[in-house]
Amino acid sequence: MIQNQSPTLQVGYIVSMADGLQSFVYREVRELLAQGVVVHLFPTKVGPGPYNPDAGWPVHRPSLPTLLLMHFQSLMTNSYRYLDVLREAFLVGGLMDFALAVFVARTAQREKLRLIHCHFGDHKFFVGYFCSRLCDDPVSVTIHAYELYNNPNPRLFRRALKFVKGIVAVAEYNREVLCGVYEVEPAKVHVVPLFADLPSLTRAKTEDSSRIIVLTVARFVEKKGHRTLFEALGKLPENYEVWLVGAGPLNVAGLAKAIGVGDRVRILGRLNDFDLQESYRTATIFCLPSEKSRSGDREGLPVALMEAMSYGLPVVATRHAGIPELVPEILVDEGDSEGIAQGIARLGLDRDFREELGRRNRELVRTRFSRENVVRLKILFMEWAR
């Protein structure tokens, strides 16, 4: 008896590769491929970074002649739909998104993709929305954080949310914002935390007891709470120092100097994967004092927190956005430099406690941010695919 087999699930991923793939996107794609899902990458931006597509991963980037040809072909084969979507893009300020969407739509048809998925509800989502309008492939999106508060096109974002087949929220907090502020149907939003690898090597077993290294891995922007961290450092003994991994517009060196702790702040900048792992292994404590920025920007569920916890690091963080869903302790209020200092000091003075908290953090990541989350994502993709 011959049994009918369902066709291979082929999904298009619209992502940014401005600095390579983001670590969580790389892990997610790698795991989906291991589970038999064929993932085609459509980058909106491309640049070098620590996480790049593996050899053999389908990556689609148009040359200008190819893009122009596909626009001409779309106009000739279905002029009514092409012009209708073009008109909509013009009215909502999405012409650049429409330009790339034509390439994605025609490539999706050629490759017989069954779903278009977008990471972040910004221009990548808008490309996916117009792509779906052009070719009828269903579109879904993973919402992270900033797009909920500082979206580059709020009008188009709301329109796309109503149209989308399904939404993945990385935290329950984001789901509440989507359903409350944006009035998205609750049944459309599914909370699926990101997948985090457990490193085979955890923290270094020997520590220099003469100094306490407080590590922060974050973009240099206001919402990451660098000012609060530096103010907390000023309340701690001289053997406490802060290591910063990241880059961004905020002048963290000038800020640390102005607060009087410049000589105790080490700025490592962007690190490759190996050096980042060594930083996690070397640090004594991880701290991320996130806070709402003056522009209203907030976190979602910071990947760096998951990574730090996976290395068995104890964490001091704030009661901000989705962070309490990840970090059971030590949590303080936003902007509370005294509370941050007390939390760091408590861990710095009690090695047994910080090691126990680190073990609990690692176990939490193992159980709540495992490969099962990617299995759940695959099941959703199968439900949403055409």
Convert the pLDDT of each residue in 336-365 to its tens digit: 999 999 999 999 999 999 999 999 999 999
User: What is residue 8's predicted lDDT score, i.e. its pLDDT?
Assistant: 86
Cα 91 from Cα 82, distance rounded (Å) = 14
The per-residue pLDDT for range 170-200, each reduced to its tens digit, is 999 999 999 999 999 999 999 999 998 888 7
In the predicted structure, residue 309 carries a pLDDT above the cut 90: yes
pLDDT band with cut points at 50, 70 and 90 for residue 204: low
Mean pLDDT of the region 251-276: 95
Mean pLDDT of the region 81-101: 98
Provide the β-strand partners of residue 41. Answer: 13, 59
User: What is residue 208's predicted lDDT score, i.e. its pLDDT?
Assistant: 61
User: What is residue 12's predicted lDDT score, i.e. its pLDDT?
Assistant: 98
The one-character DSSP state at 332 is E
User: What is residue 203's predicted lDDT score, i.e. its pLDDT?
Assistant: 56
User: What is residue 1's predicted lDDT score, i.e. its pLDDT?
Assistant: 38
User: What is residue 2's predicted lDDT score, i.e. its pLDDT?
Assistant: 40
Q: Strands (DSSP E) along 38-97, which ranges?
A: 38-46
Cα 315 from Cα 147, distance rounded (Å) = 26
Give the number of other CB atoms < 10 A from CB of residue 162.
11
Cα 286 from Cα 215, distance rounded (Å) = 5
Confirm if 259 and 301 have CB atoms less than 8 A apart.
Answer: no
User: What is residue 96's predicted lDDT score, i.e. its pLDDT?
Assistant: 97
The per-residue pLDDT for range 217-251, each reduced to its tens digit, is 999 999 999 999 999 999 999 999 999 999 999 99
Report all structural domains of the chain as residue ranges with CATH numbers, in order of start: 10-195+371-384 (3.40.50.2000), 212-368 (3.40.50.2000)
Region at 185 (left for phi over 0; alpha for psi -120 to 50; beta for the rest): beta
Please report, for residues 96, 177, 317, the alpha-carbon distance to residue 321 in angstroms, rounded to integers and kept in the order given: 31, 10, 11
The per-residue pLDDT for range 3-29, each reduced to its tens digit, is 444 568 999 999 999 999 999 999 999
Mean pLDDT of the region 159-164: 97
User: What is residue 236's predicted lDDT score, i.e. its pLDDT?
Assistant: 98
Mean pLDDT of the chain: 94
- Among candidate residues 103, 123, 121, the one with its CA nearest the CA of residue 12: 103
